[in-house]
Structure 1
Amino acid sequence: MAGAFVSLLLEQITTVLPPQVQEELNLVGGVNTQVGKLESNRDAIQSILKDAERKQVKDKAVRVWLAKLKDVCYEINDVLDERSTAILKREMDEENARSCKKMRYSFMRSPIIGLNKGNRDIALKIKAVSEKLDEIAKEKDMYGFKVYKATDHELQRLTSTSLVDDSSVWGRDDEKKSVLSMLLAESSQEARNVDVISLVGLGGIGKTTLAQLAFNDAKVTAHFEKKIWVCVSEPFDEVRIAKAILEQLEESTLNLVELQSLLPRVSQYIKGKRVLLVLDDVWNENQRQWEQLKPSLAGCARGSRILLTTRKSVVANMMGTNHPICIQTLSNDACRSIFNHVAFLQRSEDERERLIDIGNKIADKCKGLPLAAKVLGGLMQSKRTREEWEDVLSSELWGLDEVDKDKVEKEIFLSLLLSYYDLPSVVRQCFLYCAMFPKDYNMRKNELVKMWMAQGYLKETPSRDMEVVGEYYFQVLAARSFFQDIKKNYREDIIFKMHDIVHDFAQYMTENECHTMDGNNLGEASVETSIARVRHVSMMLLGETAFPSSIHRAKGLRSLLIDNSGDPWRGAALPDVMKQLTCIRSLNLSQSLIKEIPKEVGKLIHLRHLNLKGCGELVSLPETMCDLCNLQSLDVCWCRSLKELPGAIGKLVNLRHLCIGGSGVAFMPKGIERLTCLRTLDCFIVCGGGENESKAANLRELKNLDHIGGRLEVRNLQGGGIEDAAEAQLKNKKRLLCLDLNFCEGDENRLGGIEDSNLIEVLQPPSDLERLTIGRYGGIVLPNWMMALTRLQELRLNGNLEVLPPLGRLPNLEWLSLRGVRVRRLDGGFLGIEEVENANIKEGEIARVTAFPKLKTLEIWNLRELEEWDGIERRVGEEDATTTSIFIIMPQLQHLSIDNCPLLRALPDYVLAASLQELRLSCCENVEVLPPLGRLPNLESLSLVRVGVRRLDGGFLGIEEVENANINEGEIARVTAFPKLKGLVIVGVEEWDGIERRVGEEDATTTSIFIIMPQLQYLSIWHCPLLRALPDYVLAAPLQLLDITQCPNLSFTASVRLGKSSHT
């Protein structure tokens, strides 16, 4: 289906040639006439394209016509891009010539000769493609297309869309209970260790969701020692499945490429363990392929399970299913619940009442498929009027019968088609582009937006960058449920997938446009019929699989993604690709074993996006790369062998994203200041002398890069001069959200002193900064601008600091990390409350002061000189007759970690806030008394590792005060200590007292009942050689995992019930 591609390509055909080259066109007969026809044909075709795109679903002849039109549009687009590139290079050459102060005669003569010839060649190409378009335009009258006026209001209707929490599941309670029962039951056959459970049903019916519910259930997690999830999909690749299993068993498989070497390792890891293996979306009916994997799973313990999802009963039978579960369609009520949850998100009750009757009728058309209900719900989010809802209900697309059921399920196809056609053409194109990725591929939002941008799908406006437009399109598609499993990784990048049915739909709609190649379909014959028309390809290459030469026939290829675990680039494969596939806009060679990029890369004049991330053996980039004046994105992160960037990188005037973090690059080349289009520069490395100084940029080259945003790390700051640093003008980089200022890398003992203080003072960041790191800093005080960062959310400090400013007065700070600083005392000055205490307050007035009002995480690590951490006399909210101020300190603190503070004697009272969920106290041998931690109502995780406390008693639990309290006769005090604690780690304790009355016991003399750690699930006790017994309340807890190591004198009752245990 070519419609969306054609629409966007036509939009890219604008004014063909600027006035300065019109004279050259006159030398080529008939070109000006063809230029006029090109523009008129463009407008005529654009007006009927909407009707043609809808008719192609039913009419094969229309599909063929659109495919021809699409091919010609691609040709035109390439020619025009070649023309604009030639003009840009000419302008750059002229600028370089002027900067070199060349004589006017020599400057004019050479460029014009080249330009004339280039213009003539381009003019001939324009004439040829315009004639082709003219022929195709004449054919359009054969199909009786309706003419529609172009509209620009479609996008505006999407502004109300919102992402939906898709964690809620309706109508599957009974099925979930059945699956859990089968997973947790004893094995059904005496001689069989692994039972197979199959979930069988239509695509989009909820099989994967049901499997996920079971996989993530707490009882299942406790029952199985190892849980493994593998998406199988098509084709059934034994090597990929084995690698996926091993990687989830915590082993790298980078150098393992043969099944014979993978399977024994799988057997070794799971031998004797109770294992749950989920095989999602299985299609393969070949018994032989499955038999190759089965022996490696035979050694796991009795009670192990394989849970598979499939659309085919024959697959379930082939895999030896003991327990088939046929997943039925949902009831109408359940479908309505899903639909309403999405469609009425953020709507008023009045709107809901006005539209609910139509909504129920639309939901009933989902035929019990939850995915269809989510997709239609996402569609209706953008529909505000009753008339719009009625239009969807009465759409003629509901009557569509011409669907290839071998490629996509009809029931879900109609819902997807309705939502798809409701999108603007550019958003449809962005969605269809995702068909190039394999099924179950983990896409990254930022990378995808760069790829969209490289194809010209994103148009910049005066108020919105292309990246912002791409972010919005992503949100729209996610709201329509075209994307799912959306989550952030540890680097804050959004990762997501497409449902396999949605992927089927995208591939159905793109036909030959997007293609996925793997080890099973790399042969010449298998791609002969379609490869020449493919535009976007992803290749999954395993082991020693060579790069297929058949791809050279795809002369119009625009995207190439290589996902490989071996080295497919032996010999001249990569140079040949760059010679043959010159239309490429996006090239992804990440994680490959290439050692160098060939000089032929300079021939890829259309290239916008180059991803070399993780190419650990890459040692150099050619200077010819700097001829790629259209390049928008270059990623060499984690290319550890790469020591420098090309010297002429300043020629890449359209570069918007330069990512070098984690690479071996030692300095920034001169000319970086010319890259004024940069939106991302993740790292700037100051050279600071040595052999590279003559070719290295200094800090002042940051001055003109005011568009950079997101995160910037400035490394080796000690090598920068104060004047250069001041010229960098970081405060003008208004888009910066995260800034890392790091001094001398690799020298922990460096003392920078006054020099560091003066340098950092002139590196004032923008006031809207959200995250700041100052690393290996030699100064003893922080810069004066620190307290002006009122929007700061995260602050990490490391270095020789001896005095801290009143950080408690930063109103939005959520995360504070102090590592290796040399402060001796944390007091009221650190909190920012001294000024209040010393202020003159009128008699009778009360000052309410909150320090660190939003702080959630506090890390105090390696403060070897810290002795005192002062509390406050008045606890939170207390007041009496003499009180003039009330202090509320860290009211939202959830995570507190204190490590390697050997002189610290005690914790302040205020850190034991009611909100605290996690406390880690490690290597603080001087802390000999613990506060009553058991009284923390929300504490879920507690680690006490090598502290000075030798005995855990009632004071630790917080119950001594209750035991000693006066209780009226006949009254019973019920006391719960550690009510929510789930995980406890103890290292180096000598005694651990129990309590006389066990949980819930009482008699005639009992005045209190103690409930201790009622939710404890995980207990780890290490290096406690003098510990002889566990307290009674621990043995009564619902433990699922008990880990005891190097505690030779410890014994415990065998009656304790555990899900998993170890005792060494």
Structure 2
Amino acid sequence: MAEVLVSIVLDQLGNFIVEQVKGQVDELRMAIGIKKEIQSLSMKLKMIKEALDDAEKRRVKDINVKHWLEILEDFSYDTDNVLDEWKTRILQQEIERNEAATTAASIPRKKVSCFFLPSCFTFKKLELNRDIVRKIKELDVKLEVIVREKDQFNFVVNANGVVSDQDVFKRVMTTGIVDESEIHGRDSDKDVLISKLLDNCDQENGVLVVSVVGTGGIGKTTLAQLAYGDEKIKGHFDERIWICVSDPFDEVKVAKAILESLTKSSPNLSQLHMLLERIQECVSKKRFFLVLDDVWSEDYSKWEPLKNSLKNGAQGSRILVTSRSERVVEVMGSSYMHRLGQISDSDCWSLFSRIAFSGRNKEDFENLEDIGKRIVRKCKGLPLAAKTMGSLLRFKDTEEEWQTVLDSEIWELEEVAVDLFPHLYLSYDDLPPILKRCFTYCAIFPKDTVINVDRLIRIWMAQGYLSTVENNQQEVKGREYFMNLATRSFFHELKKDDKNASVIISCKMHDIVHDFAQFLAKNDCYSIKGTEAAENKADVLSVRHLCWESTDSTVNPTSVCDIGKIRSLFAENLHAKELPRDLFKGLKCIRVLNLHGCLMQELPEEIGNLFHLRCIDLSSSQVKDLPEAICRLCNLQALDLHGCKNLSRLPQQIGKLLNLRHLITTDMPKLESFPQGIASLNQLRTLSDFVVGKGSSKLGYIGKLNQLQGYLSIHVIGNLNSAEDVVEAEKAELKSKKYVKELRLNFYWTSEVRMDVIDALIPPPNLRSLTINGYRGTQLPTWITLSLNNLRVLTLSECFNCNFLPPLGKLPFLEILWVRLMDELKHVGNEFLGLPGTIASFPKLKKLRFSYCSEWEEWTDLKPEVVCSVMPSLKELELYCCEKLNSLPYCLLQRLSSIESLKIKMCPYLELDWTKISHIQNIETGNGI
């Protein structure tokens, strides 16, 4: 962790030096003498950074090194605070200067001579900068001491970042031999894996790669051993080869091991190309089964030569790869990936009890079984954890000893940590320093928390973990970091976006992985319940990131820890209706403040003094009003107000939040307008719901917000029926918002909206999903089929007055179409398909649904002479509550060779010709059809 903190500080120092060189920091900002200290700090930290790889490895076993690193981490935090304060003061001064200039410009000329604000402003700047200079000089003195102490440890300098051979935890070499009687809960996994290894062996050409992926300790090697030793495998393959690859991936070493297994003698070769040629000869026309266990390298260039040397194997040859990383097996071209999950509690109990009760009589441990089963539940299906716990308790005989283990966190049990965590540490140690920090930060989340990925990335950004990335790429880099951790099995239960399966929206951490994160971050991240305050006070005095879980409104974090050091405070679902002012006065270093679900109705004015604050989460809270003081937080990047059902307005001076990137305003029924200042927030990436039509809120406010991305919903709750409204719609410049992928245009049912207003709201051409809801016009905008060639999902809902559908069949990539609650729609004809005039109608459409179209009577069928392709990809057709529809387009349906499902419900006048739809596999009808 120290390396990440030092890197963040070095990056900030570098920025100040660059700004001075460019002349962007004047003499008031960079006072006399400060340049020397800045350069001194930078030079010393670079020297320290070169030794940190060795220091981090020695931290685990050397208490003195551990203590030195903790001092360095404290120093890094303090330096980061001072530099951030300096940067903030500069930004605040610029804002004040601009405001002063604006005020001066508004004063009549004859009174300007009496306006003295600039002089006071300059004096204030001098005082602030003297304070910064003093703090930086003090930091330089402290760092000199840290450097001197470093020298006594004789760290191995690692300027190139090469991993030392002296790993803290040695990698274990594996073999293909396993005692099946000791394995529990893997029968079905074994059957699936063996079937993949044996299926179609005689029909397929080339060598197929099959893989097993999962977190450390889940049993990947064990499963591979079960397959390797299976009699069907032994009888099917001419050669079986087991290679423990591990890390680093040494091509020569791996090739020698393969050749030795094939020839049963040690090869007297050292050149890679000669080894590979010999392997090629040995496997020629032989059906072989090669296991590459514990592969880490993602470098395809190392894998490709070896794979090519194996291509001469006979049909049906297989390579089985085990790895913790999905990226590794993707690089290796795996045709099937077996994601290995947890074993059941009963199998976990069998594994645990076999070890824990070994050599004991039944009557000796009957009294321990109940506690033991509760301990096993803490293992969360991880075989290694069950074995480790069993080994720990094997020589503990009393209920009190077992109860102590039950009551402890796994990461607090030294004996367990020594045996269990090395397997996880190897995955952790393989990460770059910044990913290590991103991972250990997750220890702040309580166990079993569903972690929203976008929220996690915003928090990482607020802590500065993404600060070395270009400003406009931080969210992209954050998601890349997350996926890197997820593919290495640090997260599980990954939930995908319904509209885009390549995007993960939430995840969890396995309890054992969470325990490991807590083990690594126990002096930095802490989760505590309010009732535990007194007994845990000593443990959390130095904590930087605190999760506070308390239903006791009389207890708050100020009674437990030094809140002046806190950089993250998660205080979700607090029952207190008013937060103590001393809490906000003390949070001097806070970056992330999470008050999700809290009962407080207002925030104190003191929140405006927390100038380091970058992320505020008030989602689902009872807050009724936001103080204007919040607009003094010029570093604020994210403000989450989702589900604040009592909040009716945003601060008028919100335009001062120039660094705001994410403003989440979904599910806020009382919010009826946005202040004009929203137009100044040109850094905004997220503006989830924008309300127009009442008060002063106008469509033109979002005209310059061209960094918006992802999801944008515009709610029109008033009338837009004037020429001025048309101009505002044009000013909105939706077509310039090229990063917006999902757009919703919601019109309140009483709103009157001119046709030329919605015609002016032309979406960006890259839009993937569009919803038009509640529009009362008689026809839909023409840009739907003219401008949206990348559209995948289209929903037309509650457009009650619309009496026909545009030629949607012309949309080349549309996959899902939902038409609902269109009361005036009576006829759907060939114009809906885009006929005539198109070669292929709805070429990519997979799902089509009509529902609650109460006046729809006729769906015109295709004429036999129509030769163009119509809905060739359609799989699902659904008709719900279309009460007057009297027939189906049977000619069209018979041409739909890909259709799998037809669902018809509450369409009483529809008479089905079953002979014409018999080709559809799944037909559901109900409620009088």
TM-score by length of 1: 0.62
Partner of 2:782: 784
**Offset at 1:497?**
1.5
Aligned to 2:835: 833
Q: 2:624 aligns with which of 619, 624, 646?
A: 619
Task: Quote the residue 2:852 is aligned against.
Answer: 862
| Contact 1:8–1:426 (Cα < 8 Å) also in 2 | no
The Cα offsets for residues 525-548 of structure 1, whole Å up to 9 and x where unpaired, read as 3232x3222111112334767434
Which residue of the partner structure matches residue 426 of structure 2? 418
Matches of 1:341 and 1:868, distance apart in 2: 61
Residue of structure 1 in register with 2:341 after alignment: none
CA RMSD of aligned residues (A): 3.8
Question: Are the structure 2 counterparts of residues 923 and 562 from structure 1 closer, same or farther at C-alpha, using a change threshold of 3 Å?
Answer: same
* Offset at residue 52 of structure 1 (A): 1.8
Structure 2: segments with no counterpart, 5+ residues: 164-179, 190-214, 224-287, 312-318, 334-410
Q: Secondary structure at the match of 1:465?
A: helix
Write out per-residue CA displacement over residues 447-497 of structure 1, whole angstroms, 9 at most, x where no aligned residue. 000000001111365595100010111111112111222113669761112
In structure 2, the partner of 1:803 is 804
The aligned residue for residue 491 of structure 2 is: 483
TM superposition shift of 1:636:
0.5
In the aligned structure 2, how far is the partner of 1:768 from the partner of 1:152?
Answer: 43
* Matched letter for residue 700 of structure 2: R
Question: Following the alignment from structure 2 to structure 1, what is the Cα–Cα distance between the partners of residues 577 and 625?
Answer: 17
Determine the structure 2 residue equivalent to 1:37: 40
Measure the CA separation in 2 of the matches of 1:31 and 1:863: 73
Q: Hey, what does 2:642 align to over in structure 1?
A: 637
CA distance in 2, matches of 1:345, 1:719: 59
Distance 1:643 1:111, change over 3 A: same
Secondary structure at the residue paired with 2:652?
coil
| Structure 1 residue 119 corresponds to structure 2 residue 99 | no
Distance 1:612 1:795 in 2: 32
- The alpha carbon displacement at 1:652 in A equals 0.3
Name the SS for the 2:494 alignment partner.
strand
Q: Displacement of 1:780 after TM fit? A: 1.9
In structure 2, the residue matched to 1:157 is none
Which residue does the alignment assign to 2:91? 88
Matched AA of 1:899: Y
CA deviation after TM superposition for structure 1 residue 815, in Å: 1.1
SS in 1 for 2:874: coil
- How far is the alpha carbon of 1:335 from its aligned partner? 12
Q: Distance in 2 between matches of 1:785 and 1:152?
A: 56
**Is 1:908 aligned to 2:870, yes or no?**
no
Counterpart of 1:793?
792
Residue 680 (structure 2) aligns with: 674
Q: Is 1:741 the counterpart of 2:745 in the alignment?
A: yes
1:886 maps onto 2:867 in alignment: yes
Q: Is the 8 Å Cα contact of residues 2 and 510 (structure 1) preserved in structure 2?
A: no
CA distance in 2 between counterparts of 1:550 and 1:479 reads: 40
> d(CA) in 1 for partners of 2:296 and 2:736?
44
Q: What is the distance in 1 between the residues matched to 2:492 and 2:728?
A: 47
Letter in 2 for 1:473: Y
Partner of 1:850: 840
Aligned residue number for residue 384 of structure 2: none
Instruction: Tell me how far apart the structure 2 counterparts of residues 644 and 491 of structure 1 sit (CA, whole Å).
Output: 31
Partner of 1:58: 61
Q: Distance in 2 between matches of 1:937 and 1:826?
A: 22
Distance in 2 between the 1:833 and 1:477 partners? 49
Q: CA deviation at 1:723?
A: 0.5
Q: Which residue of 2 aligns with 1:583?
A: 589
Amino acid corresponding to residue 146 of structure 2 in structure 1:
I
Verify the 8 A CA contact 2:526 2:543 in the aligned structure 1. yes
Offset at residue 667 of structure 1 (A) = 0.3
Question: Offset at 1:377?
Answer: 7.1
Question: CA 1:408 to 1:584, structure 2 compared with 1: closer, same or farther past 3 Å?
Answer: farther
Aligned-pair CA distance for 1:764: 0.7
Give the deviation of 1:893 after TM superposition.
2.2
> Where do 1:86-235 residues align within 5 Å?
86-100=89-103, 101=105, 103=112, 105-149=115-159, 175=185, 204-205=217-218
Give the alignment of 1:718-797 within 5 angstroms: 719-720=719-720, 721-743=725-747, 745-747=748-750, 752=752, 755-787=753-785, 788-797=787-796
Match of residue 78 from structure 1: 81
- Can you list the C-alpha shifts for 1:68-119, whole angstroms capped at 9, x where unaligned? 0100110111011111111101101111222331548534112112211111
Structure 1 pair 808/648, CA: closer, same or farther in 2 (3 Å)? Answer: same
1:498 alignment partner AA: M
Task: Quote the residue 1:946 is aligned against.
Answer: 928
Do the aligned residues in 1 keep the contact of 2:881 with 2:905 (CA within 8 Å)? Answer: yes
CA contact (8 A) 2:620 2:641 kept: yes
Q: Percent same amino acid at aligned positions?
A: 34
1:785/1:347 Cα in 2 relative to 1: closer, same or farther (>3 Å)?
farther
| Bigger helix fraction | 2
Amino acid at match of 1:855: L
Cα distance 1:71–1:588, how it changes in 2: closer, same or farther (>3 A)?
same
Q: Distance in 2 between matches of 1:526 and 1:806?
A: 67
Check the 8 A contact 1:25/1:32 in 2, yes or no. no
- Among 687, 690, 694, which residue is 1:684 paired with? 690
Do the aligned partners of residues 355 and 84 (structure 1) sit closer, same or farther apart at CA in structure 2, a change above 3 Å counting? Answer: farther
Q: Which amino acid aligns with 1:816?
A: L
State whether structure 2 residue 572 is matched by structure 1 residue 563: yes
The Cα shift of 1:122 comes to: 1.7
Partner AA of 2:884 in structure 1: L
CA distance 1:918–1:343, shift in 2 (3 Å): farther
Q: Is the 8 A contact 2:735 2:765 kept in 1?
A: yes
Match of 1:814 in 2: 815
Q: Which residue of 1 aligns with 2:14?
A: 14
Q: What are the residue-to-residue correspondences of 1:236-385 with 2, within 5 Å? A: 339=294, 351-352=306-307, 374-375=323-324
Which region of structure 1 is more displaced relative to structure 2, 434-443 or 407-416?
Answer: 407-416
Distance 1:407 1:649 in 2: 53
Q: Tell me which residue corresponds to 2:516.
A: 505
Q: What is the Cα deviation at residue 129 of structure 1?
A: 2.1
Choose 793-802 or 338-347, whichever is displaced more.
Answer: 338-347
Distance in 1 separating the partners of 2:35 and 2:120: 26
SS in 1 for 2:13: coil
Q: 1:336 to 1:934 in 2, by over 3 A?
A: farther
Aligned length: 715
How far apart are the structure 2 equivalents of 1:678 and 1:554? 30
Displacement of 1:353: 6.2
- Give, as a single letter, the amino acid of the residue that structure 2 aligns with 1:65: W
Contact 2:10–2:42 (Cα < 8 Å) also in 1: no
Name the CA distance, whole Å, in 2 between partners of 1:703 and 1:768: 18
Q: Cα deviation per residue 1:825-857 (whole Å; 9 max; x = unaligned)?
A: 111110112236xxxxxxxxxxxx432122122
CA contact (8 A) 1:806 1:829 kept: yes
Is contact 1:435-1:515 (8 Å) kept? yes
Deviation at 1:684, TM superposition (A): 1.3
The answer to whether the Cα contact below 8 Å between 1:533 and 1:554 also exists between their aligned partners in 2 is no
Preserved CA contact (<8 Å) 1:613 1:638: yes
Inter-partner Cα distance in structure 2 for 1:740 and 1:27: 51
Equivalent-residue separation in structure 1 for 2:556 and 2:431 (angstroms): 37
Q: 1:458 maps to which residue?
A: 466
Query: 1:354: Cα distance to partner?
Result: 6.2
C-alpha separation between the residues in 2 aligned to 1:354 and 1:525? Answer: 63
Contact 1:915–1:938 (8 Å) recurs in 2: no
Given that residues 852 and 880 in structure 2 are in contact (C-alpha distance below 8 angstroms), is that contact kept between their aligned partners in structure 1?
yes
Alignment deviations for residues 741-792 of structure 1 (CA, whole Å, 9 cap, x no partner): 122x143xx6x4xx53110111111111111111111222222221121100
Describe how 1:980-1059 pairs up with structure 2 within 5 A.
none
The farther-off stretch of 721-730 and 534-543 is 534-543
**How many angstroms does 1:870 deviate by?**
1.5
> Which moves more between the two structures, 790-799 or 485-494?
485-494
Cα separation, 1, equivalents of 2:120 and 2:616: 31
**CA deviation after TM superposition for structure 1 residue 504, in Å:** 2.4
**1:7: Cα distance to partner?**
4.0
Contact 2:827/2:858 (8 A) holds in 1: yes
Contact 2:530 2:555 in 1 (8 A): no
Residue-by-residue CA offset, 1:267-292 (whole Å, 9 max, x unaligned)? xxxxxxxxxxxxxxxxxxxxxxxxxx
Match of 1:48 in 2: 51
CA contact (8 A) 1:7 1:425 kept: no
Q: Counterparts of 1:623 and 1:589 in 2: how far apart (Å)?
A: 18
SS in 1 for 2:647: coil
